[in-house]
Amino acid sequence: MLKLPETLRENVRLLGELLGETIHAHEGEDLFAKVEGIRKLGKAITRTENGDSAPLVKLLGELDDADILPIVRAFNQFLNLANIADQEYFSSAESEREDVLQAMLLEFSDKYGKEELAKKISELSIELVLTAHPTEVTRRTLIRKYDQIVDTLADKQNGSLLTFEQDKLRGRLHRLVEEIWATDEIRTTRPTAIDEAKWGFAVIENSLWEAVPDFIRHLDRLSKRHLGTGLPTDVQPFKFFSWMGGDRDGNPNVTHKITREVLLLGRWMAAELYSRDVYSLGGDLSMSEASDELRAIYPSATPYRDAMFTLRKRIQATLEWAEARLQGRIVETPEDLIVSREDLLEPLMVCYRSLNDVGLPHIANGPLMDTIRRIHCFGINLVPLDIRQDGERHVKAVDELVSYLGLGEYAKWSEEERQAFLLEQLGSKRPLMPLQWPVSDDTAEVLATCRVIASEPREILSHYIISMAQQPSDVLAVALLLKECGMTWDMPIVPLFETLDDLDRAPIVMDRLWSLDWYQKYSAKDQTVMIGYSDSAKDAGKFSATWAQYKAQEKLVALAEKYEVSLVLFHGRGGTVGRGGGPVEKAMASQPPGSILGRIRVTEQGEMIRYKFGLPRVAFSSLSSYVVATLRATISPHDAPAPEWRDLIERMGASSLEAYRSVVRGHDHFVPYFRSLTPEQELSLLALGSRPAKRKSTGGVESLRAIPWVFAWTQVRLNLPAWLGARQALEYALEHEPKTLQDMVTNWPFFSSFLDLLEMVIGKADGPICTYYEEQLVPAEYHGLGKQLRDDLKALEMLINELKKQDILLKDEPLLRQSLEVRKPYVDPLNYLQAELLKRYRSSKSISPDLERALKVTMAGIAAGMRNTG
């Protein structure tokens, strides 16, 4: 069996040892002994085939109430520290087996030609959208300490350290662990939408600001070495966008005032970062030799410094203006306010050309080029903002307007009537909306948002996304509202197709929309369409939803070719498999042929932003993965599925859908079972994000957001959203066409990737743990459903092993398997204690504050152990 790398094992051991010393010092010998006893019993369970959990459960049941909180904190922090050691190791030089980017360039340059590959690289457009979905459990103050531990562990790997330097680093680690222990790991107040936006900006400042130019420099170097040509100065494969402060779908806390403030914050933060860069460049660019072009502007002995001084003055004016506006002060807009990338780029490019002209290319391509590339990536507000709103809100706004004008009841009109009215008004030169008219609060907010959009520079905004888009009129209504609110440019409008019905209807909707002459001109035949992963999986089950997403994308690609539309598919993926998450390489490889073409847009959500981009080295690796996966899917896409595969998976999908919905919608006991088994209702105790857990204040599971839906099942280790219905699909295929099924497993990347993700999810599940929750929390009359679900899971595990011709799960992923085994003795006690605390919390109106806090810590700890929340 493959062992965890020695460096990783040593770092986990060291951090665990320091945590133990800290607990011993702060909590005493008695509590430390209890933690050790629990840990040893947990390990004993994992060492045997069918480990008996009774001794562990007995010991946990005998704990004094006063001991529960420090014990759950101990196990939570060990899991966090293990994750830190993981992160440090897999971003280190020791773990770097090969440069995947270089390997891909060598492979493709031979196969497709250097010139063609260089062209494809220069055309890459990878848009990563940072969203503030409430899945980041860890407090920002602790994240900073965890990052410092990563840096210190990296420093320890320096083989030339003297003894006192090693001791100094160990002392720093001990101090950081003690700081963590002395810090409350659970937020006491829910972050605001502004807090979430600041967190997004912090990721850019602390990580991406360095990682992006480092990565582009590396790509440029490899291109010169292997393709014979470097990257153009304006090439930027990546652009970052944000929903933080723009996503108002179901979040009443995001208002037009919040959006305006976040836009200002972005401009302020960008000016602050560029000011630092330009100040530093002023110190670096001390040379006097310059081109005629530069001397004509700055005829002095230090023309480059003069250029930087002048630019910094302008940046500072923008910074002070934004700061005053944020403070609510009314100030005059500076004449030289920075309102576009060109305002920043122009003086830098003059200096860049001058340095090259006078024979100083290494200086030209140093920090100066890094700043130029940052500007191309981050623009004037770091992350241009998407605006997202529920389609119903636009219908209501137009309905109120039409009713006030005495033109009828828009909400009751047919789709044809709506389109005719909207197109007539969009083509009219006369305003439709009165300056003042009585509107509901909801409509007033929609219109105020449109006015904010209309008043801001184009570069700081991106797309307008319509949740639950169902008809072409949904898109036209947004265009009309923007026009009536003073919009002077054609903001891209993106329909989001989320449920199974929406996905099936998406090609019909886009066919009608693209056939409209007015819309063809508005969109300039450049269209983004968003595919929802979370809600479709919750609606139809992961198997059926995944196939529906594939089919929708295929049809949209074909339609775009028919209408000669440049199509970008926007993938609304979450962090977990149940919400479309998973490795980038597998996700890209399983897309329909022709759906990438060098352009892709993807959400990066919640805690996955930290896991992928929280540290410069980790971010560098993630950027590399995206480029490799996007190029591979563009240049060498997999073939479309064979007709017999398509026919079989269609029938498998129908079987899966019936099985999934028969449980989630059709079983009378499902909702009460879910609500009693999982901590779904108690998740509200965690101050996770600014957005409510439900889109609407009323309703059952159907109104629950996909994130708490997935989070709740992950906590009890059943992971149901990612696999329910898959057993029936596979059984159907094995019964009717086993040879075709095996052919799909072997030769269809889309299907094999899905099975790999399914295997990972099942590997993280734990039937006995779930049974314990059931015994403690679920009324006896619902136990039959629980047994049915666990039997379903076990049968699915056997099916996957059979299809993959293996005797155990994750046989081809030994590192992941061992990592889960290492974490299990620390996660299991948290699960057993959480079940007990949930029982007490629900049966008592007066649970102590310490026990309530302990319950919240178990949620954070289990999420850390499973590396998943929502």
| Secondary structure letter of residue 724 according to DSSP | T
Strand pairing of 238-242 and 493-497? unpaired
Q: Within 13 Å and on the Cβ side, how many CA atoms surround 501? A: 4
Helix (H, G, I), strand (E, B) or coil at 497: strand
- State residue 4's pLDDT score: 74
Q: What is the pLDDT of residues 665-707, one digit of tens each?
A: 999 999 999 999 999 989 888 866 656 655 554 455 665 666 7
Question: Rounded to the nearest 5°, which phi and psi values hold at 130?
Answer: -80, 125
Among 194-208, 524-538, 576-590, the least confident range = 576-590
133, 226, 463, 856: the active-site residue? 133
Q: What is the pLDDT of residues 136-189, one digit of tens each?
A: 556 778 888 999 999 999 999 888 899 999 999 999 999 999 999 999 988 778
Question: Rounded to the nearest 5°, which phi and psi values hold at 569?
Answer: -90, 125
Share of the chain above pLDDT 70, in %: 94
Catalytic, 538? Answer: yes
- State residue 133's pLDDT score: 55
Neighbours of 361 (CB within 10 A): 12
Question: Rounded to the nearest 5°, which phi and psi values hold at 466?
Answer: -105, 110
| Secondary structure letter of residue 250 according to DSSP | T
Burial of 781 (0-12, 13-18, 19+ CB in 10 A): exposed
In the CATH hierarchy, which top-level class contains the domain 245-382? mainly alpha
Helix (H, G, I), strand (E, B) or coil at 659: helix
Average pLDDT score over residue span 364-372: 98
Please answer whether residues 77 and 185 qualify as being in contact, where contact means their C-beta atoms are separated by less than 8 angstroms.
yes
Burial of 678 (0-12, 13-18, 19+ CB in 10 A): buried
Catalytic, 133? Answer: yes
- State residue 46's pLDDT score: 75
CA distance linking residue 649 with residue 550, whole number of Å: 11
CA distance linking residue 235 with residue 863, whole number of Å: 39
In this model, does residue 576 exceed pLDDT 60?
Answer: no
Return contacts of 839-845, CB within 8 angstroms, 24+ apart.
839/776, 839/777, 841/682, 842/777
34, 256, 538, 542: the active-site residue? 538
pTM: 0.93
In the block, residue with structure tokens 């004509």 = 296
Share of the chain above pLDDT 90, in %: 80
In this model, does residue 488 exceed pLDDT 70?
Answer: yes
Continuous H helices in 228-327: 256-284, 292-297, 303-326
- State residue 780's pLDDT score: 97
In the block, residue with structure tokens 């806390």 = 253
In b/e form, how buried is each residue of 329-360, taking b as 16+ CB within 10 angstroms?
eeeeeeeebbbeeebbbebbbbbbebbebbeb
In this model, does residue 786 exceed pLDDT 50?
Answer: yes
| Residue 253 structure tokens | 């806390």
| Band of residue 97 on the pLDDT scale cut at 50, 70, 90 | low
| Secondary structure letter of residue 578 according to DSSP | G
Please answer whether residues 606 and 869 qualify as being in contact, where contact means their C-beta atoms are separated by less than 8 angstroms.
yes
| Secondary structure letter of residue 205 according to DSSP | I
- State residue 706's pLDDT score: 66
Pick from 284, 314, 278, 317: nearest CA to 302: 284
- State residue 135's pLDDT score: 46
CA dihedral sign of residues 662, 665, 666, 670: positive
